[in-house]
Structure 1
């Protein structure tokens, strides 16, 4: 299969829908157990292709990412002090990739497929469970003012307002 048909295969067979941050997703799990007034945990499939990026955003819960198929995924995480960490989600540990990783609650993060062509199929688990009320899309203007040292990356991984 070609790379584009692999992404199309996953999109069709997993019934993925467009996500507001970029890419495609489908929620696969929402726990019945509650943590206060929230579901204790949620899970999704998440697909990115080479021509799409997941724009800078942040959550109020930790998010664990799991690698399933395709190219490695680069996830860019900026903490409140402005420290940038570039995570590599994938299966080649010798190249610094890991099959799962956690993004800390409150940190800004964005992602894109490694390489010129391809796709990445991942899963994301959030605890306490994901709620769009806890999702904040990054403003290019605000992020540039707050983290000018990362201007080039912020320009690449945010959308026009």
Structure 2
């Protein structure tokens, strides 16, 4: 009887552990769509890269992801263009051109060569806002909305 109780306790413990530990994807990254005005997503304002990375809970691994907000920063903004340039203030080559979706998010699983850094620009109705510093990865909401102001349309 004691042996049966021990086996039952062991089985319950193993079951609890498997339910609490997220499934490991062993670094596998699935490709996903490019954001566009015709798509919608979730968790506007959250750091997309917390889940959308090789061993994360997100279904797709994003290389660039973030949220665009209206001019007063109170609501996500749909259909705005973000470009990544090789030089400051829109100079050099365009490495990425992407549009915010119906949830205000931008995202792509396309491999981006950041090299020595890329310079983001946000375009709205012919006005462009440039980020002065180069970025070395695409986790926009890691800083924007937490340690830095949200990304707002010009």
Higher strand residue share: 1
Same structural fold, with TM-score higher than 0.5 when normalized by the shorter chain: no
TM-score, normalised to structure 1, is 0.22
TM-score, normalised to structure 2, is 0.23
